[in-house]
């Protein structure tokens, strides 16, 4: 029995490892409902695989670790994957045999799924110990069920002690593995996000700007309008109020810019006090109107710095379009940059359209 349970455990751990390779997102309660359903289905199929390689301990009665996938996905993913996996495991049990033992086993799996769904949130603060508690409860249900059926079988309590011991150890190992996979994926997502987002404003960074502008320009099927934005006299703000104040203003301006983008358009921080907005399917007249809106909103906004003081700033904006002007990403950027320079030279706090647009 020990060797067969260890084989069952190997299938279980291999199943968790495989899903970590296939599924890019960590299993958390923040997943979408559809993703949680998929995770529940996967756990249910894993439970079915464990049943196929289960350990027969009497006629029509098998022992395996099918309850552990329910606990794992329920503890880390919430009620939906717990219930979905329990339903699939319960239903698939009848593919092996249809008898009173299968009915009782199905009831037990559903109880485990419901209890996991109800208590996983309350137990998550205990981390692996929370999984251990759920595993003890699940093993208790299994043992009680088997006792009702097999109480007179020889070596019943020896078999149950072996089963519970291995189930608790493998449950703890599975919880540790799951926790490690979740942490690794979360760190990977963070590093991936940090490589594309500006650390301060959380807007897309200049690398993403280059990729975006090159992609939409190479496609050539959409009109692209580019806004280059520069904060007027930003050095004076840093010199007067300090760099913390400058950072606070940059973050608040980023919020304004992001709030004004939609439908595939996107705001970027190109570096320092320089920002940009890429507008798709936008003629130059509409881009000019949009830029003027952003300029005016910025001028009227009260920017709060760490000292609590309210500060006013203005921006200069250069606007260029891919139609009747620049037809390459380099040309689009150059013409918008020249328009921005013109806005600076002619008094700042204004929007200028590139020559030729």
Point out the residues that are catalytic: 273
Question: Which residues, 6+ apart, have CB-to-CB distance to 131 below 8 Å?
Answer: 71, 72, 75, 123, 171, 172, 174, 175
Q: Is 71 helix (H, G, I), strand (E, B) or coil?
A: helix
Q: What share of residues in the chain are helix, strand, coil (percent, to 5)?
A: 65, 10, 25
**And the tokens for 189?**
């997502």
Strand duo 315-321 + 224-231: pairing: antiparallel
Kindly report the backbone phi and psi dihedral angles of residue 352, in degrees, each rounded to the nearest multiple of 5, phi listed first. Answer: -125, 140
Q: Is 314 helix (H, G, I), strand (E, B) or coil?
A: coil
Tokens 């806005």, located at residue: 343
The H or E element spanning position 18 is helix 2-22
Q: What is the DSSP string of 160-191?
A: HHHHHHHHHHHHHHHHHHHHHHHHHHHHHHHH
- Cα angle 319, 323, 325; round to 5: 65
> How far is the CA of 251 from the CAs of 199, 200, 329, in angstroms?
10, 7, 27
Edge-to-edge, what's the strand order for the sheet holding 315-321?
Answer: 266-271, 274-280, 224-231, 315-321, 351-353
Burial class from Cβ neighbours inside 10 Å (0-12, 13-18, 19+) for residue 321 reads buried
Answer whether 275's CB lies under 8 Å from 229's CB: yes
Q: Is 285 helix (H, G, I), strand (E, B) or coil?
A: helix
């Amino acid at each position: 029995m020990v060797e067969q349970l260890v084989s069952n455990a190997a299938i279980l751990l291999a199943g968790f490892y495989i899903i970590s390779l296939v599924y890019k997102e960590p299993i958390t309660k923040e997943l979408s409902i559809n993703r949680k359903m998929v995770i529940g289905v996967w756990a249910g199929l894993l439970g079915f695989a464990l049943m196929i390689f289960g350990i027969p301990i009497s006629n029509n009665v098998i022992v395996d670790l099918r309850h552990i996938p329910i606990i794992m996905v329920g503890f880390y993913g919430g009620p939906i994957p717990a219930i979905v996996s329990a339903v699939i495991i319960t239903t698939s049990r009848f593919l092996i045999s249809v008898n009173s033992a299968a009915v009782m086993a199905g009831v037990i799996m559903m109880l485990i799924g419901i209890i996991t769904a109800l208590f996983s949130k309350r137990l998550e603060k205990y981390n692996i110990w929370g999984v251990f508690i759920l595993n003890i409860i699940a093993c208790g249900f299994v043992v009680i069920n088997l006792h009702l059926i097999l109480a007179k079988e020889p070596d019943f309590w020896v078999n149950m002690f072996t089963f519970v011991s291995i189930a608790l150890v493998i449950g703890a190992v599975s919880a540790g593995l799951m926790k490690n996979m979740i942490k690794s994926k979360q760190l990977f997502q963070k590093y991936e996000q940090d490589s594309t987002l500006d650390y301060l404003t959380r807007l897309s960074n200049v690398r993403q700007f280059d990729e975006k502008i090159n992609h939409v320009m190479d496609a050539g099927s959409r009109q692209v309008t580019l806004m280059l934005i520069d904060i007027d006299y930003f050095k004076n703000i840093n010199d007067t109020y300090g760099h913390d104040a400058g950072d606070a203003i940059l973050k608040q301006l980023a919020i304004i810019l992001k709030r004004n983008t939609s439908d595939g358009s996107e705001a970027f921080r190109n570096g320092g006090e320089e920002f940009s907005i890429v507008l798709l399917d936008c003629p130059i007249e509409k881009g000019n109107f949009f830029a003027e809106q952003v300029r005016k909103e910025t001028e009227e906004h009260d920017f709060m710095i760490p000292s609590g003081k309210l500060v006013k700033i203005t921006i200069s904006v250069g606007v260029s379009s891919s139609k009747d002007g620049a037809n390459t990403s380099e040309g689009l950027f150059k013409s918008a940059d020249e328009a921005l320079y013109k806005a600076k030279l002619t008094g700042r706090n204004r929007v200028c359209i590139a020559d030729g647009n």
